[in-house]
Structure 1
Amino acid sequence: MSGIASDLILIVLGGLFGGLLARAVKQPLVIGYIFVGILASPHTGFITVSQVANIEHLADIGASLLLFSLGMEFSLRELRPVWRIAVIGTAIQVAITFAYGTATAWYLNWNLLAALWFGGSVVSSSSALILRTLKSRNLKGTLSGRVMMGVSIAQDLLLIPILILLVSLSRGNLSISAMLLPLASSTIFLALIWVFAERLIPWLLRLIALLRSQELFMLATISIGLGVGFLSSLFGLPTAYGAFLAGLVLSESAFGKKAMSEMVPLRDLFGLLFFASIGMLCSPSFIMENLAITILLVVLFAGGKGLILALVAHGFGYRRIVPLALMLGMVPISEIAFVLARNALALSAISDYEYQVMLNVVIVSMLIGPLMAAFASPIYSWLRRYFPEAEVEALNLPDTDPENHVVISGGGSIGVYLAQELKQQNIFSVIIEPVYKNFLSLAGQGVSVIFGEPEKAEMLVLARIASARLLIIDDSTQVNADQVIAEARNQRPELKIMLLAASGRSAVPEGVQVIEYERQIAVEVAKRAIGEWSVLAP
């Protein structure tokens, strides 16, 4: 047996052993896959694949399926509470990183065009690797996990205009119109895809589901991801971007979870090929020959980007472990950097040497990323030991311990109105708010509020949950509702709990009263409209 078949067998078997090794040292499986790729690459001299180019072509499909499934794993509703730092904060970080990335490459005697490509390649973090790291440590639903994923998604989306502008510059299109035209056409295309996919994809999957064929449903799901990716390539965008957008649309539909479960095995196989192909691009000998510059660039851009994000998070009111989690958890540079590097090389915007530098910086950052993320909790604990926090901040609390009161988890717009309405009825309530800026705002309005994460046991103790009558959780805020419910019941099993959630929330814990606020708003508006109608009726 020879050719691509033997290469696939080699990669799959190597992936198994690499995954087992990664699991043994408590690291994400993709780290093992990358190491397998390094060992199987032509640069190492070990057992190597015979047709690296074919594996890379399959890996391109794997990248599209990987980002398609990545989009399906996100719920935009869950990320809405962190939209400010995800949109505004990420834009600040991307602009700063792009500027000093370009300046650093220019200082290293790269020409301006190559320096711009390098600056663009290091601005974002690997969404796939960050998600897998968070899931492996059960941190996906935490406040820091939500912020990290929101920022990572925004970084990838902000790379679209950067890529389009860099391609225009590389082709010599220096006029404003020549650069803005592809940007405008891509924006219109993405908007149209979003609108039509939001309506067409659920309708199509509903028809396929009526046929009750698991195979057809899986094929339809994969066809959607790759098909939208292909359409995006016609407009000058990487296929992975279109696939990611299709995944985001599908995640909001009723078929999102089923589609995700159907394609997991195929996604994991192609994901193995993708990360193994990344390892094949790595040249250990090149790294050793250019060790100083590689370490310098990894520290400056993998670490520097995290430091910028930590400062941005602090500026947006996030405290405690969140800034540290961003600094250490966002180290791995995005897999989209490989797309930029390939485009730059194909357009002769960078030399082979510069291409190798970019690739190896990204690969090294991916290898050390999960290791750095694991240090966040120990470092935070060490800092708290030698630099203990001041007492938990709480404002406007009564002098005596409250009883039969209401505890509100998350002080969003709904929480503050709830507290005000309850106060008018002489019912005491206290809000636990995880974002410091929101905490100060609530305190300024005279609301009884505690600064901290509601899922933490000590926060619920301070709110006197053991003597409370009711716990109200706003699922649209930056809290993990399931963890709050579990900890509240641990402290008071008989506590009544209300969950304010968007329509269609799945997996509601038993015994929790769910109030769909969108439906309640519609009912209230309908009542008032009917009342107005009766007044106007003759």
Structure 2
Amino acid sequence: MHDATPLIATIVGGLVLAFIFGALAHRVRLPVIAGYLVAGVVAGPFTPGYVADAHIAQELADLGVILLMFGVGLHFSLKDLLAVKNISIPGAAVQMGVATGLGMLLGWMLGWPMAQGFVFGLALSVASTVVLLRAMEERRLLDSDRGRIAVGWLIVEDLAMVLALVLLPALAGFLGGNAGGAATPTTGELVQTVAITIGKVVLFVAVMLVIGKRAIPWMLQAVSGTGSRELFRLAVLAIALGVAFGAAHLFDVSFELGAFFAGMMMGESKLSQQAAEETLPLRDAFAVLFFVSIGMLFNPHILVQQPWLVLAACFIIIVGKSVAAFAIVRLFGRPTKTALTIATSLAQIGEFSFILAGLGVSLGLLSEEARDILLAAAIVSILVNPLLFVALDRWVAKHDADAPDEHPDMRGHTVLVGFGRVGRRVFAELQATGAPVLVIETDEDAVRDLREHGGADIVIGNAAAAPVLAEANLGSARALIVTVPDPFEGGQVVRAARAARPDLPIVARAHSPDCVSHLAGLGASEVVYGEQELARSMFEAAQPRPAHGGH
């Protein structure tokens, strides 16, 4: 029997441990992310037993971030990005400045060199792409105004980090670190470095807009013409990873930014939805490995050695950044709900912080103790962030500024969960009968469309949450129709509704026989299997029709 290679051992060990501890976390009602992080600690070098290859784990995690940003780009357009530039650019700049300043203040109080305080504060200022986007995807907020602002904010932070990672080695000697033996650059050389970096980013964006916008959709369409799903899937992955790799090595742009633009250009194709579905399983798997890799970096001893410094860093991340982001969004006249969502999204740090910290240590600008404090604070902030989102969900359910405070005491109404492609058709059929309808939806654009249609009461929030179901007056409803496509998300709604009212007729949708069994087991009265209904309709359409007037 061959010994497992480090790559295979890392993938298998990471996924198995993540599953075990993720399931345990879910069992005790903790975020599954907590389980993934614990799995990383168990597989890391600071605990006894199995030790995974940290370098390989980090590279696998980078793949996850690339695929995640590619998926976000698929749902984003240049118009969406430009629509939020007026708030995302100044907002991200000010928020990063506040967090960096607070980090420098903490460093000054501890007697750190100013350069160390600056690098430490800068690392605290940038949020984790994976954590933010997973939270947004779970709540279906990526296509909402709040989601677009958050993604735009991320892009600005990404660009700022690209610039920082290029400039730090050039500035290391000037800041008191080591520049690998290189001489400290003159002001002219420094200006030239900044200009070249910005020029490369501009050139990359121009190439993507001029060439990529035409070439990528054309390539996807050509591959789809072969009729091979395998080739189509391979083409999607090749474009996502190829553009990300090329962006990093040809233009010195980050992998994440390259993948985002690749996705955004592919979004111009009519096949973008299928491309998103094909990459989803890989995105989820590698996102799990991302959290495992973070756990592997964590040294638990720092919590005993420097507990107050870890708490101070956590305060800057969770409170300082959040307050700054909330104030900025409110100053731009956005609703409180939007400001709270952005503030909660940014109350954590992740991958760019680790890259910056590692570079700071190698350049002599950051001590190893400061790096360990940073990593510990990152772990804590990632663990706390899902809990903050739960609190936000409850606040939104009770105080949504856009929804009416009270809904009429409806009776005999149908509760419709989801206003997507299927939900819109079901809504139209229900409206045609004149029956009262109440729609539960989280997407702000869908809610706006609903209000334009009229004829329906609306509850904004997660339909699996008890306060949302209570606001929908489920006890007096005639039926519940769950149109969300994801079987796990739909299953949560079915289970919560069945627990709230055991006799309620519940209709859900499924895409496979296994999903049918899953939803039925959770309490759905009837599950509509899409392919089965399609086959029945096609069969009926193919039957010979009786001749007219032949008797």
Alignment equivalent of 1:91, drawn from 81, 90, 93 = 93
When residues 198 and 292 of structure 1 are mapped into structure 2, their CA distance, relative to the original with a 3 A threshold, is same
1:292 Cα shift?
0.7
The match for 1:187 is 201
Alignment equivalent of 1:223, drawn from 238, 258, 271 = 238
The match for 1:36 is 39
User: 1:179 corresponds to which letter in structure 2?
Assistant: T
1:66 Cα shift?
2.9
Alignment equivalent of 1:356, drawn from 372, 376, 388 = 372
The match for 2:107 is 105
When residues 365 and 173 of structure 1 are mapped into structure 2, their CA distance, relative to the original with a 3 A threshold, is farther
1:343 Cα shift?
2.6
The C-alpha deviation readout for 1:338-371, integer Å capped at 9, x for no partner, is: 2222332333432322222222222221111111
When residues 70 and 283 of structure 1 are mapped into structure 2, their CA distance, relative to the original with a 3 A threshold, is farther
1:297 Cα shift?
0.8
The match for 1:294 is 310
1:209 is the counterpart of 2:224: yes
**Bigger CA drift: 23-32 or 258-267?**
23-32
5 Å-filtered alignment, 1:236-315, equals 236-315=252-331
1:25 Cα shift?
5.6
The C-alpha deviation readout for 1:118-140, integer Å capped at 9, x for no partner, is: 22212222232122223334555
1:173 is the counterpart of 2:191: no
The match for 2:23 is 20
Q: Structure 1: how far apart are the matches of 2:381 and 2:317?
A: 9
The match for 2:446 is 481
User: 1:59 corresponds to which letter in structure 2?
Assistant: A
Question: Does structure 2 retain, via aligned residues, the 8 Å contact 1:76–1:252?
Answer: no
The match for 1:525 is none
The C-alpha deviation readout for 1:368-405, integer Å capped at 9, x for no partner, is: 111122222445788x7xxxxxxxxxxxxxxxxxxxxx
Question: Does structure 1 retain, via aligned residues, the 8 Å contact 2:317–2:381?
Answer: no
User: 1:259 corresponds to which letter in structure 2?
Assistant: A
Question: Does structure 2 retain, via aligned residues, the 8 Å contact 1:142–1:480?
Answer: yes
Q: Structure 2: how far apart are the matches of 1:120 and 1:485?
A: 42
Aligned partner of residue 375 in structure 1, secondary structure:
helix
When residues 94 and 197 of structure 1 are mapped into structure 2, their CA distance, relative to the original with a 3 A threshold, is same
1:320 is the counterpart of 2:336: yes
The C-alpha deviation readout for 1:162-199, integer Å capped at 9, x for no partner, is: 33332321343352334324323332332234222222
5 Å-filtered alignment, 1:396-411, equals none
When residues 282 and 149 of structure 1 are mapped into structure 2, their CA distance, relative to the original with a 3 A threshold, is same
Aligned partner of residue 74 in structure 1, secondary structure:
coil
The match for 1:67 is 69
User: 1:132 corresponds to which letter in structure 2?
Assistant: R
Count of residue correspondences: 408
Q: Structure 2: how far apart are the matches of 1:199 and 1:280?
A: 42
Question: Does structure 2 retain, via aligned residues, the 8 Å contact 1:287–1:294?
Answer: yes
TM norm structure 1: 0.68
The match for 1:490 is 456
The match for 1:526 is none
Question: Does structure 1 retain, via aligned residues, the 8 Å contact 2:24–2:35?
Answer: yes
Q: Structure 2: how far apart are the matches of 1:95 and 1:65?
A: 29
User: 1:480 corresponds to which letter in structure 2?
Assistant: D
1:73 Cα shift?
4.0
The C-alpha deviation readout for 1:46-97, integer Å capped at 9, x for no partner, is: x423433332333333332233233334345445554422223222222332
User: 1:16 corresponds to which letter in structure 2?
Assistant: F
Q: Structure 1: how far apart are the matches of 2:213 and 2:28?
A: 42
5 Å-filtered alignment, 1:418-437, equals none
Question: Does structure 2 retain, via aligned residues, the 8 Å contact 1:102–1:116?
Answer: yes
Question: Does structure 1 retain, via aligned residues, the 8 Å contact 2:247–2:254?
Answer: yes
Q: Structure 2: how far apart are the matches of 1:239 and 1:223?
A: 14
Q: Structure 1: how far apart are the matches of 2:313 and 2:84?
A: 30
Question: Does structure 2 retain, via aligned residues, the 8 Å contact 1:205–1:217?
Answer: yes
The C-alpha deviation readout for 1:307-339, integer Å capped at 9, x for no partner, is: 001111111112333333333342111422122
**Bigger CA drift: 212-221 or 132-141?**
132-141
Question: Does structure 1 retain, via aligned residues, the 8 Å contact 2:65–2:129?
Answer: no
User: 1:297 corresponds to which letter in structure 2?
Assistant: A
The C-alpha deviation readout for 1:25-59, integer Å capped at 9, x for no partner, is: 666544432221112212122x4234333323333
Question: Does structure 2 retain, via aligned residues, the 8 Å contact 1:310–1:326?
Answer: yes
Aligned partner of residue 278 in structure 2, secondary structure:
helix
When residues 237 and 142 of structure 1 are mapped into structure 2, their CA distance, relative to the original with a 3 A threshold, is closer
1:7 is the counterpart of 2:10: yes
Q: Structure 1: how far apart are the matches of 2:239 and 2:446?
A: 32
Question: Does structure 2 retain, via aligned residues, the 8 Å contact 1:28–1:136?
Answer: no
The match for 2:533 is none
Aligned partner of residue 489 in structure 1, secondary structure:
coil
1:342 is the counterpart of 2:358: yes
Q: Structure 2: how far apart are the matches of 1:115 and 1:193?
A: 37
User: 2:446 corresponds to which letter in structure 1?
Assistant: A
Q: Structure 2: how far apart are the matches of 1:158 and 1:204?
A: 32
**Bigger CA drift: 210-219 or 323-332?**
323-332
The match for 1:54 is 56
**Bigger CA drift: 366-375 or 56-65?**
56-65
Question: Does structure 1 retain, via aligned residues, the 8 Å contact 2:120–2:366?
Answer: no
Question: Does structure 1 retain, via aligned residues, the 8 Å contact 2:33–2:383?
Answer: no
Q: Structure 1: how far apart are the matches of 2:272 and 2:186?
A: 43
The match for 2:507 is none
Aligned partner of residue 454 in structure 2, secondary structure:
helix
When residues 245 and 173 of structure 1 are mapped into structure 2, their CA distance, relative to the original with a 3 A threshold, is farther
Q: Structure 2: how far apart are the matches of 1:148 and 1:490?
A: 29
1:207 Cα shift?
1.7
Q: RMSD in angstroms over aligned alpha carbons?
A: 3.2
User: 2:185 corresponds to which letter in structure 1?
Assistant: N
Q: Structure 2: how far apart are the matches of 1:328 and 1:312?
A: 13
Aligned partner of residue 331 in structure 1, secondary structure:
coil
Alignment equivalent of 1:152, drawn from 128, 144, 154 = 154
Q: Structure 1: how far apart are the matches of 2:216 and 2:9?
A: 37
Q: Structure 2: how far apart are the matches of 1:3 and 1:225?
A: 27
Q: Structure 2: how far apart are the matches of 1:285 and 1:135?
A: 34
Aligned partner of residue 254 in structure 1, secondary structure:
coil
Q: Structure 2: how far apart are the matches of 1:27 and 1:141?
A: 27
> Structure 1: where are the runs of 5+ without partners?
385-433, 435-451, 467-477, 493-506, 508-538
Identical counterparts, % of pairs: 27
The match for 2:481 is none
User: 1:356 corresponds to which letter in structure 2?
Assistant: D
1:24 Cα shift?
4.2
Aligned partner of residue 44 in structure 1, secondary structure:
coil
1:273 Cα shift?
1.9
The C-alpha deviation readout for 1:429-487, integer Å capped at 9, x for no partner, is: xxxxx9xxxxxxxxxxxxxxxxx52xx245999xxxx9xxxxxxxxxxx9423565179
User: 2:203 corresponds to which letter in structure 1?
Assistant: F
Alignment equivalent of 2:392, drawn from 361, 376, 382 = 376
